[in-house]
Structure 1
Amino acid sequence: MAPTTRVEHDLVGDKEVPADAYYGVHTVRAVENFAITGSTIAQFPDLITSLAAVKQAAARANRDLGLLPPDIAPAIIGACEEIGSGRLHEQFVVDPVQGGAGTSTNMNANEVIANRALEILGHPRGRYDVIHPLDHVNLGQSTNDVYPTAVRLALVASLRRLGSGLGALATAFTAKATEFGDVLKMGRTQLQDAVPMTLGQEFTTYAVMIEEDRQRLDEAAALLLESNLGGTAIGTGITGHPRYAELACRHLADISGELVRPAGDFIEATQDCGAFVQLSGVLKRVAVKLSKTCNDLRLLSSGPRAGLGEINLPPVQAGSSIMPGKVNPVIPEVVNQVAFEVIGNDLTVTMAAEAGQLQLNAFEPVIAYSLLRSLTHLRAASDTLTTRCVPGITANREHLHDTVHRSIGLVTALAPHIGYAASTTLARRALATGRGIKELATETGLLTTEQLDTILRPENLTGRAPLPEVLTME
């Protein structure tokens, strides 16, 4: 029978490794030490492909500098290309939350790449005398420049997808805004009737808010593309070739398709987590706005008969195990919950970034874990809102029309013509009697029917036409 394990050696001693594993002894110890989240870094494919891209860029640079043997460099590069295309991701088995500033993740990558490269050259896994995970795959590198660079690239890739998802959501809201452009309703401040607007204007604001946040995501991505690759342990570049940093960044930009650039000061860049804090703040901003939008959707659709009942959300599932016919706003509710998670993750990122000491922040793994989850879940939430909710929203047009004409808020439109005091008296009478503003204004002779028809035209009430001249009684 073929052996089920192979023995590898590290600083701590000998350790059995599954014979068919591409990872090695360092990874096995990390799996034993860090059973924290119940998941692995393979949960984040962007991180794995970014690690492969960094290792590939390093191998290219070392090849160009003549530091890797001519037969070994192509094998390492080939292994990285395979991982970048999606192969062997299941071999990345360490927990994303780990001690050691990401060393276990870097070791996992080094071992998988080394063993796959050995296979490419026709050698069995574990023949580290031929290709060594550290001497060859990790040549000229440190966890402290490889890991944060890979994390940054992974975040940018995930940011691009979130931006695309938010763009689709903004388009869905814009389509609804156009559909509801002629639907008059009452705007509200502090949950009280304010002044008229259109439902289209209300939905336009959601699209505008989302588009603003897409711009902030692009700004955050630009900060993340500054890399300390080549700085090695603390940013001084010890053990690295003088030209390595420049070459590695150039190759990484080519491999990733992103404008990766060397940091201005590698020592500063190795310890500074400011770009992560910036991104986390932007994600919190996105979450807050999405949650506020979903609060509005739930409130506007409340009832449907004993609440506001201004819009109808598409019924996507039965709402109750005890109340027949009840339908709940489950899509906005799930988006709210994602927002709460992202806001909590922002606090984690803040505390972890602040906890860094001297030349390195040891807590980047939990920063990466928090940010990657926030990005993944926000994208899923925005996609869910786009596909399962917004396109199916309908307006209760007659109900909205009636609420406008019953609302005391109409009196605000009359104030420039009859004065604040007279408007206040009119509002009090309407509130006390339950009668409409237009009816009372005509009855008291404050304005003629023709004047009221002009002032209370929908396009005048909602700011979509030039305001009429002040109409005074002779």
Structure 2
Amino acid sequence: MRQEKDSMGVIEVNDDALWGAQTQRSLRYFAIGTEQMPLPVIHALARIKRAAALVNAGLGLLDEALAEKISDAAAEVVAGRWDTQFPLRVWQTGSGTQSNMNVNEVIANRANEMAGQSRGGKTPVHPNDHVNLGQSSNDAFPSAMHIAAALAIHRGLLPALAHLEGELERKTGDFAHLIKVGRTHLMDAVPLTLGQEFSGYVAQLRQGIHALEQTLPGLYALALGGTAVGTGLNCHPDFASAVCARLHAELGLPFRPAANAFAALAGHEALLQLSAALRGMAMSLIKIANDIRWMASGPRAGLGELHLPENEPGSSIMPGKVNPTQAEALTMVCVQIYGNDAAIAFAASQGNFELNVYKPLIAYNILQSIALLGDAVRSFSDHCLRDLQPAEDQLRQSMEESLMLVTALTPVIGYERAAAAAQHAHREGCTLRAAVLHLGHLSAEEFDRYMRPERMLGL
């Protein structure tokens, strides 16, 4: 063990730890749950520290040699080399101060090691005076939340959704010629093609992607430069714009200082809007997944219109059973996103005066939603949609037996006679053709001329 000191006094820290006194105190006083601060937030904080050090050196506020060491240490954190050195729980101070200091301490200790000094000495690099220069947890942490969320969307979720869109588009084309029974109110309706049905899924997905993309400009606005309460105390006036410019150059995303730092510290509208867009996407995906598992139900006592890929045994007791497991996994993830959104919505409402103190909860839930949705969408695409096959015989049989084909006869024999024919066919268990002929509404030749399902598709 070694002794580290902060403004509260001395505390013992394990020699193997790169963190310092404030991190150790958080471990002692916030042993709550098992949920750790998401690593994307940690890595985003390290990106901020790296850019800040180089900017502060350029502004003449930090020795260039110290800035270089801070930059190198922060780069190691970004690369994931020291991921085990960030053990703090989500359930900590609502500003994220302890995780911000965890990052400051690890970078400072690592920088000092690079300078040939021992851990814990705070020399030549100090975690507050140098690594945190020009920042407060109150502006650095929400900025890291935005950076982490923006990167997760660009690098994970949007590519996964594009992959799903591609699979749905392919199925739309593959299924374009397959006429099937439509359903409204879960009851038989007029026909459409399986491809038309899947084209609706593509359109729903595209709307969701557009809604997600609409939230990105709000994420590019960073709270940096506001420091403690939004006034920018102890921060160079050019600091925020210069750090954002470096982050833009490094990550390729147009980060910029928030137009109003007071709002950026006290409110989280951008992340709330993102959460709402994720919830909207979850809604569409639940519909798509449920439709597919309904159409695949059976194979003999359900709709049986689709054949699911046989990925794994479906039952521990019933041999040969295949279950819609990918649809179940995706819809469970979507339900979790609904729950996360509810938590985020409440947390975002809890800004008091100059600070919202539910930041770690918002960060944890929004990043979980993004990551889960990306993973589940890719799994559903690869392990369900890719090898999904139509049951053409079942589609054809259901189409031939559908009573709602009688809708095509309404312009010819009228609604009342058409309804009577459908009711007779249902009551007697016969075909529509037999019913219409029995009731004398049309001749066989006339029925065959007007009853053409392929003309009912709006193509």
Q: TM-score, normalised by structure 2?
A: 0.96
Q: Give yes or no for the alignment of 1:86 onto 2:76.
A: no
Equivalent residue of 1:235, what SS? Answer: coil
Alignment match, 2:117: 123
SS in 1 for 2:69: helix
Matches of 1:451 and 1:55, distance apart in 2: 80
C-alpha contact 2:94 2:359 (8 A) present in aligned 1: no
Whole-Å Cα distance in 2 between the matches of residues 339 and 54 of structure 1?
A: 32
**Partners of 2:371 and 2:30 in 1: how far apart?**
23
With over 3 angstroms needed to count, the CA separation of the structure-2 counterparts of 1:37 and 1:290, relative to structure 1, is: farther
1:450 Cα deviation from its structure 2 partner:
5.1
Pick from 336, 340, 344: which aligns with 2:339?
344
Q: Is the Cα–Cα contact under 8 Å of residues 403 and 426 in structure 2 kept in the other structure? A: yes
- Distance (Å, rounded) in 2 between the aligned partners of 1:175 and 1:450: 39
Q: 1:430, CA displacement in angstroms? A: 1.4
Match of 2:159 in 1: 164
Distance 1:207 1:282 in 2: 17
Give 2:149's aligned residue: 155
Matched, 1:460 2:455: yes
Cα distance in 1, alignment partners of residues 48 and 355 from structure 2: 20
Please name the residue that 1:249 is paired with: 244
Q: 1:27 aligns with which of 23, 29, 37?
A: 23
| Aligned-pair CA distance for 1:16 | 0.8
Among all aligned residue pairs of Structure 1 and Structure 2, give the percentage whose two residues are the same amino acid: 40
CA distance in 1, matches of 2:281, 2:245: 32
3-state DSSP class of the match of 2:180?
strand
Distance, in Å, in 2 between the alignment partners of 1:448 and 1:196 is 23
Are residues 1:375 and 2:370 paired? yes
- Worse-superposed segment, 247-256 or 104-113: 247-256
2:33 to 15, 37, 41: 37
Residues 46 and 154, structure 1, Cα contact 8 Å, conserved in 2 = yes
Partner of 1:437: 432
Larger displacement relative to structure 2 (109-118 or 200-209):
200-209
Take 1:99 and 1:52, find their aligned partners in 2: how far apart are those partners? 19
Q: Report the alpha carbon displacement of residue 448 of structure 1 after superposing the two structures with TM.
A: 4.8
CA distance, structure 2, for counterparts of residue 341 and residue 426 of structure 1: 48
Distance 1:11 1:463 in 2: 74
The range that moved more, 363-372 or 267-276, is 267-276
Secondary structure of 2:90's aligned partner:
coil
1:303 to 2:298 alignment: yes
The correspondence for 1:294, drawn from 289, 292, 310, is 289
Question: 1:91-132: per-residue Cα shift (whole Å, max 9, x none)?
Answer: 111112322410011001101111111122222222213110
Q: Which of 164, 169, 174 is equivalent to 1:174?
A: 169
Q: Report the Cα offset of residue 442 of structure 1.
A: 4.5
Decide whether the 8 Å contact of 1:7 with 1:17 is kept in 2: yes
1:139-161: CA deviation from partner (whole Å, max 9, x where unpaired) = 01000110000111100111121
Q: 1:58-88, CA deviations, whole angstroms, 9 ceiling, x for partnerless residues?
A: 1122111100012101111111222222221
1:470: which partner in 2? Answer: none
Is the partner of 1:340 in helix, strand or coil?
A: helix
1:186 aligns with 2:181: yes
- Residue 12 of structure 2 is matched in structure 1 by 16
* Distance in 2 separating the partners of 1:449 and 1:86: 75
The within-5 A match list for 1:165-244 is 165-244=160-239
1:109 counterpart (98, 103, 107): 103
How far did 1:281 drift?
Answer: 0.6
Other structure's SS at 1:389 match: helix
**Is 1:417 paired with 2:412?**
yes
Q: Deviations over 1:432-467 (max 9, x none)?
A: 112222343345453455554454434312111xxx
Q: Does 1:386 align with 2:405?
A: no
Q: Could you tell me how far apart the structure 2 residues matched to 1:263 and 1:177 are?
A: 43
Deviations 1:372-415 (A, max 9, x none): 11111111110110111111211111111111121111011221
**Amino acid corresponding to residue 222 of structure 1 in structure 2:** P
The RMSD of aligned alpha carbons is 1.6
Corresponding residue of 1:468: none
- Contact kept in structure 2, 1:224 and 1:275, CA below 8 Å: yes
Extract unaligned runs of 5+ from structure 1.
465-474
- The letter for the 2-side match of 1:128 is K
**Alpha-carbon offset, residue 330 of structure 1:** 1.1
Superposed displacement of residue 304, structure 1: 1.0
For residues 302-335 of structure 1, the C-alpha deviation after alignment (integer angstroms, 9 at most, x for no partner) is 1110111111111211122222222211111111
Q: Deviations over 1:267-301 (max 9, x none)?
A: 12211111111111111111111112111112111
Tell me, yes or no, if the aligned pair for 2:112 and 2:123 is still in contact at 8 Å: no
Q: Structure 1 37/448 Cα, relative in aligned 2: closer, same or farther at 3 Å?
A: farther
Distance 1:300 1:102 in 2: 47
Unaligned segments of structure 2, at least 5 residues: none
Distance in 2 between the 1:345 and 1:243 partners? 37
Matched, 1:261 2:256: yes
- Alignment counterpart, residue 54 of structure 2, candidates 38, 42, 60: 60
Inter-partner Cα distance in structure 2 for 1:198 and 1:342: 32
Q: Which moved more, 1:289-298 or 1:183-192?
A: 289-298
Question: What residue identity is the alignment partner of 1:301?
Answer: A
Equivalent position SS for 1:351:
helix
Instruction: Give the Cα–Cα distance (whole angstroms) in 2 for the partners of residues 17 and 361 of structure 1.
Output: 31
User: Residue 7 of structure 1 corresponds to which residue in structure 2?
Assistant: 3
**1:212 Cα shift?**
1.7
Aligned to 1:402: 397
Amino acid at match of 2:58: D
